[in-house]
Amino acid sequence: MQSKRNKEWSETYKKVNHSLVEERKALNFNQEQLALFLWDGEEKLEKHRQLSKLYTADPILRNTHHYYDMTREEKMECGFKKLNRMAEVLPEKITYDTVFYHVTTNLGAMPTSLHHAMFELAVRYLGDEEQVDKWLPLILDYKIIGNYCQTEVGHGSNVRVSDSLTIGHRTTIQSEYVIAIYNYIIFSIQLFWQGLETEAIFDKEKDEFIINTPKNSSAKFWPGDLGVLSTHGVVYAQLMIEGKNLGVQSFMVPIRDIDTHRPLPGIEVGDIGPKFGFVAKDNGYVIFNQVRIPRRNMLMRYVNVDKEGKVTPQGNPKVLYSVMMFTRLQLLSGCVAGLGKSLIASIRYGIVRKQFKTAAGKDGKPEERKIIDYQTHLHRICPQLANNFAMAFATRRMYQLYNDMMSNIKTKNDFSQLGPMHTILSGMKALFCHTAYEGVKQMRECCGAAGFSQFSNIPNIIDAISSYVTLEGDSVVMNIQTARSLLKSGRKVIQTGKPLNQLLSYILDLKVILEKGKDFKCEAKDADFFKSEQNLLDLLKWNALLRIGQSLQLFADPKYKDFSLWEKFNEKFQIDLIKMSQAHSYYMTAQFFFEGINHFEKQGNCSNLVKHLRTLFRIFALNHLTKIGAPLAISKYLSPQQFRQIHQQLLQEYTNIRPQMLNLIEAFEYDDNTMVSAIGNYDGNVYERLLEWAKSSRLNEKDTLDGFDEYIRPFLAAKL
Is the pLDDT at 42 greater than 90? The verdict is: yes
Is the pLDDT at 187 greater than 50? The verdict is: no
Helix (H, G, I), strand (E, B) or coil at 416: coil
Does residue 644 come out as left (phi exceeding 0), alpha (psi in the -120 to 50 range) or beta?
A: alpha
Closest CA to 485 of 440, 415, 425, 554: 425
Is the pLDDT at 129 greater than 80? The verdict is: yes
Helix (H, G, I), strand (E, B) or coil at 696: coil
Please say if 472 is a catalytic residue. Answer: yes
Q: Is 216 exposed, middle or buried (0-12, 13-18, 19+ CB in 10 A)?
A: exposed
Helix (H, G, I), strand (E, B) or coil at 205: coil
Is the pLDDT at 18 greater than 80? The verdict is: yes
- Residue 307 covered by a domain: yes
CA neighbours within 13 Å on the CB side: how many for 185? 22
CA distance linking residue 162 with residue 155, whole number of Å: 16
Residue 94 pLDDT: 84
- Residue 665 covered by a domain: no
Residue 76 pLDDT: 93
Helix (H, G, I), strand (E, B) or coil at 165: strand
Closest CA to 68 of 701, 705, 693, 695: 693
Q: Where are the beta strands (DSSP E) in 59-178?
A: 146-149, 164-167, 171-174
Annotation: binding site for FAD: 151, 224
Is the pLDDT at 626 greater than 50? The verdict is: yes
- Residue 620 covered by a domain: no
Q: Which residues, in sequence order, are CB contacts of 182 under 8 Å at separation 6+?
A: 126, 236, 248, 250, 317, 320
- pLDDT band at residue 191 using 50, 70 and 90 as cut-offs: very low
CA distance linking residue 276 with residue 467, whole number of Å: 9
**32, 120, 152, 472: the active-site residue:** 472
Mean pLDDT of the chain: 89
- Residue 227 covered by a domain: yes
- pLDDT band at residue 175 using 50, 70 and 90 as cut-offs: very low
CA distance linking residue 15 with residue 9, whole number of Å: 11
Tell me, yes or no, if the pTM score tops 0.85.
Answer: yes
Mean pLDDT across the stretch 19-32? Answer: 96
- Residue 583 covered by a domain: no
Give the CATH number for residue 270: 2.40.110.10
CA distance linking residue 392 with residue 398, whole number of Å: 10
Residue 322 pLDDT: 64
pLDDT more than 70, % of the chain: 93
Does residue 155 contact residue 197 with C-beta atoms inside 8 Å? yes
Instruction: Please give the residue range of the domain that contains residue 151.
Output: 147-315
Residue 39 pLDDT: 94
CA distance linking residue 507 with residue 494, whole number of Å: 10
- Residue 293 covered by a domain: yes
> Domain total for the chain?
1
Is the pLDDT at 260 greater than 60? The verdict is: yes
CA distance linking residue 36 with residue 47, whole number of Å: 12
Residue 91 pLDDT: 77
CA neighbours within 13 Å on the CB side: how many for 570? 8
- pLDDT band at residue 378 using 50, 70 and 90 as cut-offs: very high
pLDDT digits over 305-328, tens only?
999 999 998 766 666 666 667 778
Does residue 303 contact residue 178 with C-beta atoms inside 8 Å? yes
- pLDDT band at residue 449 using 50, 70 and 90 as cut-offs: very high
Is the pLDDT at 430 greater than 90? The verdict is: yes
Does residue 443 contact residue 460 with C-beta atoms inside 8 Å? no
Does residue 120 contact residue 139 with C-beta atoms inside 8 Å? yes
- Residue 163 covered by a domain: yes
CA dihedral 565, 567, 570, 575 (to 10 degrees): -90
